[in-house]
Structure 1
Amino acid sequence: MTETYKDWSNKLPYALWAYRTSIRSSTGVTPYSLVYGIEAVLPVELRIPSLRVMIEASLPESEWAKARHQELQMIDEKRLRALYHIQGYQRRIERAFNKKVRVRDLKSGDLVLKSYRAPCPICPDFIEVCEDDALGWITYRLEAIQPSQ
């Protein structure tokens, strides 16, 4: 089978299924379980029944409905745990980012070396930090220093 970029729409449902049934590191759960309250039954579990599928199949319908109702009542708790997991994940990411940051106090009139990847003949090499109180709080804007001729 030849694969081209034109048949992406045929593969989209499979990609979405994989995304929705994979555990996200940020939440610790799958997006599917956050929406529906239970984990998705994978197509392979229908051919080769897993323990979960066999237990659900052996339950009488009334018992299954009762168990499903209890799972749906617990969905808010599951979402709240995912929220706590997200907050912890964000703190870990923030800590990792902040390890690399060096805090520097800039004052009006300080010179800052401008970083750019390619040489630019019209860009100044230094930028001056100027206080700007126009918005009601102290912000800093960078002004280009004109080279003296």
Structure 2
Amino acid sequence: MARAFNARARHREFYPGDLVLRKVLHIAPDSRCKFAYKYDGPFVVREVFSGGAIILSDMDGTENALSVNADALKKYYP
């Protein structure tokens, strides 16, 4: 089973300067349920760590203090 799963799994690599979208992990009580946004962004990757942690910044250059796991990101293609 593991071999079948690993054959279809994609390895994602992020590099500094890449544009990404961040998954919304919390659901606000006043959200529109299934019509709420699933992703925030775009953000710019500032630094990538070996464990999958990534530091993001806004498009205007404001750096976020918290790191984000790579599982909660996907690449953004404008």
Q: Which has the higher strand share?
A: 2
TM-score band by shorter chain is: 0.3 to 0.5
Give the structure with higher Rg (CA): 1
Higher helix share goes to which structure? 1
